[in-house]
Amino acid sequence: MARSRKKYSSGQTWQAYIFNSPLILITLIFVFLPVAGTLITGFFRNVTFMPNKFIFLENFYRLFGDVHFWQSVRFTLLFVFVSVGLELVLGMMFALILNEAFPGRGLMRVAILIPWAIPVAISARIWQLMYNFDFGVINYIVIHLGFVSSPVNWLGSPVGAFFSIVISDIWKTTPFITIILLAGLSLIPDELYKQAMIDGTNFIQRFYYITIPLLRPVIVVALLFRTIDAIRIFDLIYVLTGGGPGGSTSSISLYAFKYYITGDFGYGSAISIVVFILASALAVLYIKFGNFAGELK
Amino acid sequence: MKARIILILTVLLISISGIHCSKSEKDFTIWIGGAPEEVDFWAKLVSEFNKQTGYNLQLIRQPTYTDQRRQELVISLEAKQPDPDMFLMDVVWINQFIKSNWLEPLDKYVTKSNFNTDVFFQKVLNSVDRYRNKLYALPVFMDVGLLYYRKDLLNKFGYNGPPKTWSELVNESLKIQKAERKDDPNFYGYVWQGAQYEGLVCNFLEFIASNGDSIMKDGKIDLNTPQNEKALQLMTDLIHKYKISPLNTYTEMKEEETRRAFQRGDALFERNWTYAWNLAQDNDSPVKGKIGLTVLPHFDDNQSVSTLGGWHIGISRFSDEKEKAWKFIQFVSSYEVQKSLVLNVGWNPARKDVYNDKEVIAKLPTVKILYDALQHTAARPTLPYYSQVSDVIQRYVNDCLAGKINPKEALEKMQKEEDELVKIYGTK
């Protein structure tokens, strides 16, 4: 890096700054300012119908003793871990299948994108109707197949609600991972596989020694996007369970939203800052350990 | 080039004069939201008012959802904008708006125009619209929680009338549910609103108030009492012990879910607001003509109580057309308009005298019951941080209904968190 910096004259550096200035400006206005604004709001007792008061870190202290906040942190991290993990495995499987030549492949590639193209609020509502206790199709199927005798209240227990959310999220966002991995797969030269086959390798060896290493930067990008997305999860849960039963499926964002909507902007902002810090920390970890800058040369 | 500059200047001039014109006309505004057909009705009322008075009152349409309506008002009022001049408020907002000093006291206008406030329900006026002997708002229409019941089924099983107490409701439900399940496996005895949202607080309040208790006593939140424990135990038992309320009560049941279940014919009793009556009497409704309406049941040795809902009208302190706004409030409170509210959109009038109107009684035989229910209402706490208080109640009552904790534990935790909230928000 230091080597490349030396190459530019000061005039060139200035030129680079000028050309980059729109991007820097946009980042400042739309990323830096809102984050700074949220942080400042977090230092106040900013509650509708009450006078504003500077309380510095009190909102953040309050977070430590707030059991519901920690419950939502636990839920969110568990959700990220389980759903992103399963999505990666499934997405990889679909990508490998769709990378093979078979009749109707083009159609399949389009079809798999449909869940990703449906707005989250709508797909969450569809899943909610499917999980419905009275007339949901899932209860209809399990009863008619004889697995259970009376309808199951899928969204009624913490565990049931958790997996209902995970399943809906997997259905919705696996296509995203599939498409990114598929793009990565199509960049791997076919000759490598052919050569390896001549050397007498089997499918698993080729997958581990060719596909995975060459796909790694793409996997890291897919994971990065999905993890940051999942840690901020809001809309799916808002529609599907509203955080219930009894707040057991409340994500951190949903928890922050509850304070915003009930008028406590200070505490809501403090919670949002935690989401921001978590997402940034994970992004830094991915970029550091993903090491894809090295692989991409 | 010259021509272009002249063109631009002309356009600018016209637009400036346009702004000037609209300002000199002195229109004033009222902000109202809700279901589209409700807002349409308000539009008609406003144009009627303008025709009568020659004023230029503008109706500004707000969103359907109550929380969003409040958010819009809060933004304008916090910025001390002269618009809106008037607005409708949900009962629980009024105190918050008064404490923020956003509402114009109405006493001066009442005296000046010889306006008679005795025509309204005094209990409602005193508990909601008055604060420290000053009047800040007037009710426009009222809402209460009521018990809907299937007349045909009660007759079929030999009951003369609807249940008066909770134990009667449970016994009748158990018997009829068992028999009806043979034909309809989805039949339930009693449906009510148990999902985690504001409606759950209304239901919870009705259960505890019908056992002689309340959320607040002497200005303090006081939930952890034996009476409340008994009431919360009953709520849980309806679902888990007697199984007369469906399991999805605590996950999905809001107003519309309960109404649909009852209207499909899948429930014997339903707790709902007054709006469900007209819909259940629609021509395509399977329960049309088979249902009755009464006050909610109560615990033995106590009386029925309904949670008070409804909308009230007030004038913004920042309005620049307060006199004209008061004229509109008088118009809305008039006998004729109140009567047309109930006849055309089925809203329960805020004026007592309309309940004796022959035409109203002929069209809506149920107004007598509403009148009775309005005598015994419970109001939700009036606190600037009510939303946070409500959130805690919702969470623990819902947890208890889900069977995760027992009523005693739920009330203890609720009380502890409410105390913490008072500590955080209670200081100036």
Which of B186, B197, B388 faces A262 most closely, judged by CB atoms?
Answer: B388
A286 within some domain: yes
Portion of chain A with pLDDT greater than 70, in percent: 95
State whether residue A165 sits within 8 Å of chain B by CB: no
Which domain covers residue A252, as residue numbers?
A: 67-295
Distances (CA, A) of A34 to A63, A262, B299, B340: 21, 21, 53, 49
Four-point Cα dihedral A35, A37, A40, A45, nearest 10: -110
State whether residue B377 sits within 8 Å of chain A by CB: no
For residue B384, the chain A residues in CB contact (below 8 A) are: 47-50
DSSP B149: E
Find the angle CA(A214)-CA(A220)-CA(A226) to the nearest 5 degrees: 140
A56 within some domain: no
| CA B388 to chain centroid | 18
pLDDT for A297:
41
- Angstroms from B302 CA to nearest CA on chain A: 30
Domain ranges in chain B are: 25-142+308-378, 146-307+379-425
A39 within some domain: no
Which of A49, A64, A164, A255 to mutate against chain B (most B CBs within 10 Å)?
A49
Q: Do A50 and B425 touch (CB under 8 A)?
A: yes
In chain A, how many domains are there? 1
User: Which residue in chain A is spatially nearest to B383 when comparing CA positions?
Assistant: A49
Q: Do B196 and A49 touch (CB under 8 A)?
A: no
Which of B71, B388, B390 faces A264 most closely, judged by CB atoms?
Answer: B388
For residue A51, the chain B residues in CB contact (below 8 A) are: 428
Gap between the Cα atoms of A281 and A273, Å rounded: 12
Q: Do B261 and A134 touch (CB under 8 A)?
A: yes
A106 within some domain: yes
CATH (domain of A199): 1.10.3720.10
Q: Do A246 and B398 touch (CB under 8 A)?
A: yes
- Angstroms from B22 CA to nearest CA on chain A: 33
DSSP A153: -
Gap between the Cα atoms of B170 and B374, Å rounded: 25
State whether residue B346 sits within 8 Å of chain A by CB: no
State whether residue B77 sits within 8 Å of chain A by CB: no
pLDDT for A263:
81
Portion of chain A with pLDDT greater than 90, in percent: 49
- Angstroms from B72 CA to nearest CA on chain A: 12
Buried b (16+ CB within 10 A) or exposed e, B289-321: eebbbbbbbbbeebebbbbbbbbbbbbbbbbeb
- Angstroms from A37 CA to nearest CA on chain B: 18
Q: Do A153 and B248 touch (CB under 8 A)?
A: yes
What would the CATH number be for the domain defined by B25-142+308-378? 3.40.190.10
Residues 235-274 of A with CB under 8 A from B: 241-247, 258, 261-264
Q: Do A133 and B428 touch (CB under 8 A)?
A: no
User: Which residue in chain B is spatially nearest to A267 when comparing CA positions?
Assistant: B424
A4 within some domain: no
Q: What is the pLDDT of residues A25-64, one digit of tens each?
A: 999 999 999 999 999 999 998 887 777 888 889 899 999 8
User: Which residue in chain A is spatially nearest to B247 when comparing CA positions?
Assistant: A153
> Do B25-142+308-378 and B146-307+379-425 fold alike per CATH?
yes
Gap between the Cα atoms of A281 and B7, Å rounded: 56
pLDDT for A90:
95
A292: pLDDT strictly greater than 60: no
For residue B416, the chain A residues in CB contact (below 8 A) are: none
A47 within some domain: no
Gap between the Cα atoms of A223 and A92, Å rounded: 12
Gap between the Cα atoms of B225 and B415, Å rounded: 10
Chains A & B: contacts with CB separation below 8 Å: 88
pLDDT for B51:
92
Q: Do A133 and B388 touch (CB under 8 A)?
A: no
- Angstroms from B247 CA to nearest CA on chain A: 7
Which of B387, B396, B399 faces A262 most closely, judged by CB atoms?
Answer: B387
β-strand partners of B90:
B311
Which of A47, A51, A243 faces B385 most closely, judged by CB atoms?
Answer: A47
Gap between the Cα atoms of B210 and B230, Å rounded: 11
Q: Give the predicted TM-score (pTM) of the model.
A: 0.80
A72: pLDDT strictly greater than 90: yes
What would the CATH number be for the domain defined by B146-307+379-425? 3.40.190.10
- Angstroms from B94 CA to nearest CA on chain A: 11
A151: pLDDT strictly greater than 50: yes
For residue B398, the chain A residues in CB contact (below 8 A) are: 244-246
State whether residue A55 sits within 8 Å of chain B by CB: no
For residue A151, the chain B residues in CB contact (below 8 A) are: 247
Backbone angles phi, psi at A180, to 5 degrees: -65, -45
pLDDT for A294:
55
- Angstroms from B71 CA to nearest CA on chain A: 8
Q: Do A246 and B395 touch (CB under 8 A)?
A: yes
| Contact predicate B391/A258, CB 8 Å | yes
State whether residue A67 sits within 8 Å of chain B by CB: no
A138: pLDDT strictly greater than 70: yes
State whether residue A136 sits within 8 Å of chain B by CB: no
User: Which residue in chain A is spatially nearest to B67 when comparing CA positions?
Assistant: A261
State whether residue A143 sits within 8 Å of chain B by CB: no
Closest residue by Cα to residue A28 from A20, A280, A19: A20
Find all residues with CB under 8 Å of A132, minimum gap 6, and list them: A139, B248, B252
Q: Do A258 and B391 touch (CB under 8 A)?
A: yes
State whether residue B38 sits within 8 Å of chain A by CB: no
Per-residue pLDDT of chain B (428 residues; tens, 9 = 90+): 566 666 666 655 555 544 444 444 568 999 998 777 788 889 999 999 999 998 999 999 988 777 778 888 988 898 888 889 999 999 888 988 998 889 999 999 999 999 999 999 888 888 889 998 999 999 998 889 999 999 999 999 999 889 999 999 999 999 999 999 999 888 999 999 998 888 999 999 999 999 999 898 888 899 999 999 999 999 999 999 999 999 989 988 988 889 999 999 999 999 998 888 888 888 889 999 899 999 999 999 899 999 998 899 999 999 988 999 999 999 999 999 999 888 887 788 899 999 989 888 888 777 888 888 888 888 888 887 888 899 899 999 999 999 889 999 999 999 999 999 888 887 65
A291 within some domain: yes
Gap between the Cα atoms of B381 and B393, Å rounded: 12
Work out the end-to-end distance of chain A between its first and last CA atoms, rounded to an integer number of angstroms: 13
